[in-house]
Structures are given as C-alpha cells and as structure tokens.
Amino acid sequence: MGFTHRQLFQKHMAPTSDAPLALEIVSAQHIYLTDCHGKTYIDLISGIAVSNVGHRNPKVVQAIKNQVDQYMHLMVYGEYIQSPQVLLAEALVKSTLTNHLNQVYFTNSGTEAVEGAMKLAKRYTKRTEFISCYNAYHGATQGALSLAGDENFKNSFRPLLPDIQHINHGNLHDLSLITTKTAAVIIEIVGGEAGVKQASKTYFTALREKCTQTGCLLIIDEIQTGFGRTGTFWAYQQMDIQPDILLTAKGMGGGMPIGAFLANETVMRTLSYEPVLGHITTFGGHPVSCAASLATLNYIHENDILSGVRAKSDLFKALLVHPIIQEVRGVGLMIAVEMKDFKTVKAVIDTCIENGLITDWFLFCDNALRIAPPLVITEDEIKMACNILLQAMDKVFKN
C-alpha cells in the first residue's frame, strides 16, 4: 500500500520548520480553501499577500488557459518578443502613472527582484553599500538575506554581503547614515514582516531628498504592498514620492510565480553592457505567469477593487474590538492585530484554524496576528471572519 500524502509530506518534503501548518488543501476558490476532509477555511492571509484577486480568479484562470494553448516557455528572458511579457510591461509602466519607471525586468520571485535591483544599483552607481531597515525582510537568497535587519535570522549563513547598514523605519535621524558611499536604500512603504510598520509622508519626502542629494538610488520594495494591497495600486503613491527602482512579486501573479523590478531606461540599460548579459534568467517573465499577471492587473482596474479596500479595512478595524487586543494597525488590507505576547497570538491562531479560518503572525513581530485577505473579500465575509476571530479571542481570554 502506498503512503498517504501526509506521510509523503513528512518523509520527502524538505521542512522549513518543525511545526508546519500541514493542512491538506484539495481545492481553492475566492477566499475559501477546502481540505481533504471537506472542511472549508477562510483564507485571511492570501497565501501571504498573494491571492489579492482571490484564489482561482476566473479571469486569471482563463488567461492562463488561453496562454497555455498558445505557448509556454520559448526562450530565456529578453531575447524573443512575447506578447504576454510586452503587454504586461506596458501595463506595469502605466500603473505607475508617470513615465519615469519605464522599463521592466521580469523575475520568478520577490527575492530575485531584490537581487536584480541590488546588482542594478551597484552597476549604475558604481558603489557597493546598501542601507535597509531593522526588522525588514526582503527575501531568502544571499543578497536579499544580507539586507535582513535581524541578526538571528542571518547569522548561520555568514559570510553574507559586506557594506550593509541598517536604519530604523520612519526615523528621520537615521537618514544621516545615507552618504555618497551608498549605492541604494531599500525600504518598504509599510513594513510587512516587521508587523505592518508605518512611516509618515514627511519621512518618505526626507528619505527621497537624501537619496537624491547623495546620488544613491531609492529602491521601494512593494513585493507585499503592491497590486492594491494598501488601497492604491502601489503604496508609494500615497507618499507622493518616486522610487528609482520599484520591486514587485507576490500578488502580481494572481497565484502564479512572477516578480519584477522597474526602473528608468537610463538606469536599466546598464545591465546590458560591461558585461553584456549582466543579469540573465531562464524563466523570468514566464509567458503563462505574465498572462496571469496582466489578467490580475486588469481585474483590479476593471472591477474597481482599489476603491473598496479602505472601507473593508475600516470594517475590520471597527469589528475587531476585544480586551485581548492591544492595538489594531493597518493600511488597507494589510493589518496587524497586536496582543500581549506570542503565546496569546498563537492560541488565537490555533483556535481560528480549528474553527475554519487561516491567519498567522509576522516574521519579526510575533505578538501580532496577520490579516491580509484577498482584496475581493466581501463585507459579509469580513463580518463572518471577525466573528470567528472574536470567538477565538473570547476562548483564549477566558483561559
């Protein structure tokens, strides 16, 4: 007799921790996941900020099917003219509302977008130093990991890249670390894994000015915040600043793997000479992923998804009132519900999962519960989700 899927998972799947969720999901639609026992879960974290237009959004599924009927992989990135790539590149440039970020380099993932952007910043500025934020997460490959602001997370993998400095997100004083040695500052508008960390417009204006004065590039990582998560297509658009390099992935693919970095052509073209082929990828901008991404972007615009995000965020904040909660903070549908400690958060999460709702905590903020549902969640579904959350909080509070 063969092994069960659970046994195969335990035997042959490389683990990332000793406590995986280990739910065996057999189908997904909209905000719902169904497991092998027929139990349905509300997905309140979108596979970590991915399924912005819902699981298996019909427009995305159709675009994938259409593309598979035409062609899949043809050639490494940047050689052939492939309609899903060029149309997506055009749509991404348009989504920035200016022609400043007018070229797109497609990758397979977020961390690869970070790697590409770091190489681009080094190549363009001829400098080597990077500045990132404490408690930021930019990916798991070694360049991106070097940027992580948490020593515990990266210590076992040293030596990593030298010349990395850290600043506190939102702290004006720390901007003095940015000098003419800095190749780039990489920052999120809303710190995702730091537990939805926000900073003011004044801060981002000062940061932009400092980068311009010193000639370093400002890399805005919108891998978690992009594609509408915070209520505007890009979160930086709420700060009235222009990035020099913009990073995207996660929600970009509507459930398919893809990432990208955008920059002005004067910056971007430096990756194509000295050396020629200075940055290359086989699968970056896979046509099927590009078709899915374009359908996702169009779905967000055509269904006016952005206009509902703020009201939905307000509804979560209005409903989530409980003595166990210390603070609810959030921008759009990127919300952190802070509690006393990890033990409390974990007990609430476990009870929610028992009761059919999936949520989790943050990499560098384990005393807060993550709420990042598909942006297409309805008001009735928010009420239903909050009922499950509040019941779980009641149970944990009483114990």
**Is 361 a binder of ligand PLP (CB under 6 A)?**
no
Q: Please state the closest distance from residue 124 (CB atom) to ligand PLP, in A.
A: 21
Beta bridge partners of 261: 105, 247
Closer residue to ligand PLP (CB): 111 or 344: 111
Binding mask 160-189 for ligand PLP (x = CB under 6 A): ----------------------------x-
Q: Please state the closest distance from residue 284 (CB atom) to ligand PLP, in A.
A: 13
Q: Please state the closest distance from residue 394 (CB atom) to ligand PLP, in A.
A: 31
Q: Please state the closest distance from residue 130 (CB atom) to ligand PLP, in A.
A: 14
**Is 138 a binder of ligand PLP (CB under 6 A)?**
yes
220 contact partners, CB below 8 Å, separation of at least 6: 187, 188, 189, 234, 236, 243, 245, 246, 247
Residue 399: CA count within 13 A, CB half-sphere: 10
Find the residue with minimal CB distance to ligand PLP. 110
- In whole angstroms, give the CA distance from residue 44 to residue 40: 13
Give the ranges where the chain is alpha helix by DSSP (H): 5-12, 46-49, 58-70, 83-95, 110-125, 142-147, 151-154, 201-214, 265-268, 287-302, 305-319, 342-354, 379-398
Residues 262, 264, 270: CA angle, nearest 5 degrees? 95
**Is 137 a binder of ligand PLP (CB under 6 A)?**
yes
**Is 110 a binder of ligand PLP (CB under 6 A)?**
yes
Closer residue to ligand PLP (CB): 223 or 396: 223
Span 243-302, contacts to ligand PLP by CB under 6 A: 249
Residue selected from 46, 57, 95, 111 as contacting ligand PLP according to rule CB under 6 A: 111
Size of the site for ligand PLP (CB under 6 A): 14
- In whole angstroms, give the CA distance from residue 342 to residue 369: 9
- In whole angstroms, give the CA distance from residue 157 to residue 223: 23
Residue selected from 84, 192, 226, 228 as contacting ligand PLP according to rule CB under 6 A: 192
Q: Please state the closest distance from residue 357 (CB atom) to ligand PLP, in A.
A: 21
The owner of tokens 């166990």 is 324
Task: For residue 111, give the nearest of 250, 16, 245, 265 by alpha carbon.
Answer: 250
26 contact partners, CB below 8 Å, separation of at least 6: 34, 35, 36
Which pair of structure tokens corresponds to residue 337?
């519900």
Stretch that binds ligand PLP, among 54-62, 207-215, 216-224, 284-292 (CB under 6 A): 216-224
**Is 360 a binder of ligand PLP (CB under 6 A)?**
no
Residue ranges in contact with ligand PLP by CB under 6 A? 109-111, 114, 137-139, 188, 192-193, 221, 223-224, 249
